[in-house]
Amino acid sequence: MKLDRKEILKALESISVAGEGKNMVESGAVANVLTFGDEVVVDLVISSPAMHIRKRAEEDIVKCIHEHISADAKVKVNVKVETPEKPEVKGKSIPGIKNIIAVASGKGGVGKSTVTANLAVSLAKMGFSVGVLDADIYGPSMPIMFDVENEKPISVNVEGKSKMKPIESYEVKILSIGFFTAPSQAVIWRGPMASKALNQMIFDADWGELDFMLIDLPPGTGDIHLSIMQSLPITGAVVVSTPQAVALADAKKGVSMFLSEAINVPVLGIIENMAYFTPAELPQNKYYIFGREGAKNLAADLEVPFLGEVPIVQSVREAGDFGRPAAMQDGAPIADIFTEITRNVVEQTVLRNQSLPPTEAIKITTMAGCSAVKAN
């Protein structure tokens, strides 16, 4: 008995792979059919890795050939699973916002929100228009750090659409879930609900024209991070860490998350917070309470920029508690430290933002007092 390849292909047009829609031959699932006397080998390519779909396809092919071609045919089905590549999600841009910087930390309690607030006011002092999105849904800090915890965003009409107007403090526009909940109220939401709330604060807000939007991410690497990274065209990410090993291990994971194929966001650099302590009575002394240059060494190991170190200074804590970020203390050493770190962030942003026109790059670096200029 000799089997006819054309007849087999014709018979296979009567069945389809679950979820494919078209028949096996028309959809291209049947990659090849080989016959050797009473033997037939069918190469099948499907997109679903589900075992039950694969098994069903094999059974359907064997049954079809036995019923329509020959009950004595020896049928072998080779199944290959090829999942189609998903297009890279760059996120939906927000008109008027030039640079979006995510500020992250692998571990909680390393001062990520404090650094975000001080970067924001440092940028504003340089003359940039700045916005802060407090994406730390479960532990929002920005309302307290900017002394606006009792404020409530109002609704404004923009081109016929109702939008939230961000709260402004120290020339920084702010939106946070903390504006919509009582101070003592816990936010008990699953990931999808938190992501939806963030999307509303991002896309249903009247941010206006911003040179920089800073996003204060929650600690760790999870649902919120993925949602933000895939919703917005992030220019780059800044990772904050303290020098001790337990924090550095988590910071390394944070860097890895941004550089992964699923996220693919440039890492602008690492900031070391609580780097050392200098007592007021001994201004020349530095005590490395949590270890020395841990984040700086991590940056070198990961081949990402080191943006600077912030010492343990009582005024930083007090300023955050009183709602007046320490970077606003003109002439104070801590303000100069934050200014230098902010310049480094701006410089890396200009270098990494491929969509920034050269003239705009020159303007930004000049305003920040940086030397980096994007080449034509």
Query: What pLDDT was estimated at residue 376?
Result: 45
Residues of the chain with CATH 3.30.300.130: 5-81
Query: What pLDDT was estimated at residue 249?
Result: 86
CATH number of the domain located at residue range(s) 97-368 in this protein = 3.40.50.300
Residues of the chain with CATH 3.40.50.300: 97-368
- Topology of domain 5-81, per CATH? GMP Synthetase; Chain A, domain 3 (3.30.300)
Cα–Cα distance, 129 to 208 (Å, whole number) = 9
Cα–Cα distance, 175 to 198 (Å, whole number) = 10
Q: Whole-prediction pTM value?
A: 0.71
pLDDT below 50 — which residues of the chain?
Answer: 86-89, 375-376
